[in-house]
């Protein structure tokens, strides 16, 4: 029931503005790099879905049962229509967030009026038969014409629509199932990241993003549920399956429905493109991929990243060549699920790491909900398309490995280090020196190095002697902190850690400042946790 001629797409187009409008002002460079990449891949491609949504309805409007065609049809023409619409959306986004906000508000009013007319029509319009456009058959022939029925509120119609009743997708010939229906319908429920994508454009992101997101999701869920109920109560299965623009056939004023469809498609496209450009600009500012994203750094005097908008426009234009809506819908859904799984995984990592700066205000938040979100996203990814799911995870892993190999800015911080610290601290607290036993004795070595340039062989020898024990590389800097303007030891830690990396030894580094080497060695013995019962020579 969710092929390209399914009313599910119309539900998405009429209801998606609830998400796009409530969170339209969003953006921002806020999350970790893996999450940005996943969100970008999940936001750019949906712009294509909206572009082709308009083309689908252009085809409906121009191909009537009388055979009259207003616009030429075909792959090349549809690509041209999509490219022209993409150019319009790109032009609005290039001029800045201010024009985008005004255009979004206008389209919101149009969509609200269109939606209101549809809801009133379900009650005001009486039962009627609706002739359906014949489907093309094999060898260029046409299948026999069918008639759909708008029955008004009828319990028999509702009972007949309760079953699944999947049909074939006429674009691919494949039988639809729950996963394919989910892939198409899920795109109408996306948009919850719009607030985060545009956070730099909001006056109060900490309040606007959660409030706008919750209101948008609640509004969209209510509209979808209401439309599902009204449609299944009043329209027979033939009408639902064969005419995915049936809202016009039952509307009091059909042109208003068409205006709403075009308006919500353009608004969703603008929201996706401007959000994608903000994320791409953030990636460029972080200098993650060097010259590849250098054009996306260009901004206007007012701070509008028009270079990133044009970059995103070019990427979407490439994807427009795909040409099949349902194919795009499955890929888009997988990318969205990867993005949401990455967000859940980030929150789960921060919660498990007990990061002091991670204090979610949502009262129902817990690591259980994060883990459930990750598991649910991964499950649905593989149910929809195992190949696309595996490919997206592989791509995400390769990008993460590339970023790790290149070494990102240290100012980001690494959640892996926070997790390691949390676990190490937990197990260190479980160590009890009173439970030591000779059977589990391990060597503990403190190697004092004066001149590291000539100490590499000695470092490696001590590394072999430790045999799973504790190995501390120590150095004493002679001096008195009271007589110095600053601590001379702290700046040396980076060089000593580089020495450990170069020598490829498993050792800790401890440095100290002391008036004498003897006192410094005693300090190192105590601060490193080694056994200090033995006496040092004078």
Burial status of residue 21 (CB atoms within 10 A of its CB: 0-12, 13-18, 19 or more): buried
Nearest to 151 by CA among 132, 168, 129, 133: 129
Angstrom CA distances, 499 to 18, 174, 261, 298, 409, stand at 57, 61, 64, 40, 21
* pLDDT tens by residue, 143-170: 777 888 888 898 888 888 888 878 776 5
State whether the Cα torsion 250-254-260-263 is positive or negative: positive
Q: Are the CB atoms for 6 and 184 separated by under 8 Å?
A: yes
Residue 432, pLDDT score: 83
Q: In what order do the strands lie in the sheet with 508-514?
A: 444-448, 470-478, 508-514
Residue 371, pLDDT score: 93
Cα-atom radius of gyration of the chain, to the nearest Å?
31
Element (H, E) at 278: helix 254-285
* pLDDT tens by residue, 52-95: 344 444 444 444 444 435 567 777 777 888 888 888 888 877 88
* pLDDT tens by residue, 278-298: 888 888 887 777 788 888 888
Residue 441, pLDDT score: 81
Which residues of the chain are modeled with pLDDT < 50?
A: 1-68, 532-538
Residue 173, pLDDT score: 67
In degrees and rounded to multiples of 5, residue 128 shows phi and psi of -155, 160
CA atoms within 13 A on the CB side of 132: 24
Q: How far apart are CA 86 and CA 5, in angstroms?
A: 23
Residue 68, pLDDT score: 39
Global pTM?
0.68
Residue 139, pLDDT score: 66
- Strands 470-478, 508-514: pairing is parallel
State whether the Cα torsion 335-338-339-340 is positive or negative: positive
Burial status of residue 406 (CB atoms within 10 A of its CB: 0-12, 13-18, 19 or more): exposed
In degrees and rounded to multiples of 5, residue 296 shows phi and psi of -75, -10
* pLDDT tens by residue, 324-340: 665 676 777 788 888 88
Question: What proportions of the chain, in percent to the nearest 5, are helix, strand and coil?
Answer: 65, 5, 30
How many CB atoms lie under 10 A from the CB of residue 485? 6
Nearest to 378 by CA among 415, 339, 350: 339
Q: Are the CB atoms for 2 and 8 separated by under 8 Å?
A: yes
Residue 9, pLDDT score: 29
CA atoms within 13 A on the CB side of 492: 15
């Amino acid at each position: 029931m969710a092929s390209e001629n399914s009313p599910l797409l119309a539900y998405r187009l009429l209801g998606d503005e609830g998400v796009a409008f409530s969170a339209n002002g969003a953006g921002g460079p806020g999350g970790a790099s893996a999450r940005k990449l996943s969100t970008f891949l999940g936001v750019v491609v949906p712009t294509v879905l909206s572009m082709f949504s308009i083309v689908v309805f252009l085809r409906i409007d121009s191909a009537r049962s009388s055979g009259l065609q207003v616009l030429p049809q075909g792959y090349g023409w549809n690509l041209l229509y999509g490219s022209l619409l993409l150019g319009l959306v790109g032009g609005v986004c290039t001029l800045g967030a201010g024009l985008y906000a005004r255009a979004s508000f206008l389209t919101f009013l149009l969509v609200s009026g269109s939606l209101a007319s549809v809801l009133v029509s379900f009650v005001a319009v009486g039962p009627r038969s609706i002739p359906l456009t014949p489907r093309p058959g094999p060898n260029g022939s046409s299948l026999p014409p069918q008639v759909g029925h708008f029955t008004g509120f009828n319990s028999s119609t509702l009972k007949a629509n309760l079953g699944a009743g999947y049909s074939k997708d006429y674009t691919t010939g494949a039988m639809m199932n729950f996963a394919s229906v989910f892939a198409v319908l899920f795109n109408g429920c996306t948009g919850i990241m719009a607030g985060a994508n545009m956070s730099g454009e909001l006056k109060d992101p900490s309040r606007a993003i959660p409030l706008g997101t919750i209101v948008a999701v609640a509004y969209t869920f209510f509209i979808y549920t209401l439309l599902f109920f009204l449609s299944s109560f009043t329209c027979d299965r033939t009408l639902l399956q064969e005419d995915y623009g049936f809202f016009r056939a039952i509307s009091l004023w059909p042109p208003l429905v068409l205006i709403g469809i075009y308006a919500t498609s353009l608004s969703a496209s603008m929201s996706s493109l401007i959000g994608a450009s903000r994320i791409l600009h953030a990636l460029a500012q972080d200098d993650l991929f060097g010259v590849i994203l250098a054009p996306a750094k260009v901004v206007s005097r007012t701070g509008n990243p028009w270079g990133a908008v044009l970059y995103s426009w070019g990427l979407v234009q490439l994807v427009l060549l795909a040409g099949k809506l349902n194919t795009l819908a499955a890929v888009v859904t997988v990318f969205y699920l990867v993005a949401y799984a990455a967000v859940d995984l980030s929150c789960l990592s921060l919660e498990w790491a007990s990061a002091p700066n991670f204090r979610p205000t949502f009262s129902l938040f817990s690591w259980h909900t994060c883990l459930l979100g990750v598991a649910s996203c991964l499950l649905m990814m593989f149910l929809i398309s195992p190949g696309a799911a595996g490919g997206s995870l592989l791509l995400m892993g390769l990008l993460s490995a590339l970023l790790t190999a290149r070494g990102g800015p240290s100012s980001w911080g690494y959640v892996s280090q926070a997790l390691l610290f949390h676990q190490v601290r937990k197990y260190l607290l479980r160590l009890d020196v009173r439970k030591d036993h000779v059977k589990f004795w391990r060597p503990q070595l403190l190697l004092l190095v004066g001149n590291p340039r000539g100490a590499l062989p000695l470092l490696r020898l001590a590394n072999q002697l430790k045999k799973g024990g504790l190995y501390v590389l120590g150095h004493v800097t002679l001096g008195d902190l009271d007589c110095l303007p600053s601590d001379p030891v702290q700046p040396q830690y980076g060089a000593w850690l580089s020495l450990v990396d170069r020598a490829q030894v498993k050792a800790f580094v401890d440095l100290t400042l002391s008036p004498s080497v003897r006192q410094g060695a005693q300090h190192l013995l105590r601060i490193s946790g080694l056994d200090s019962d033995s006496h040092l020579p004078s």
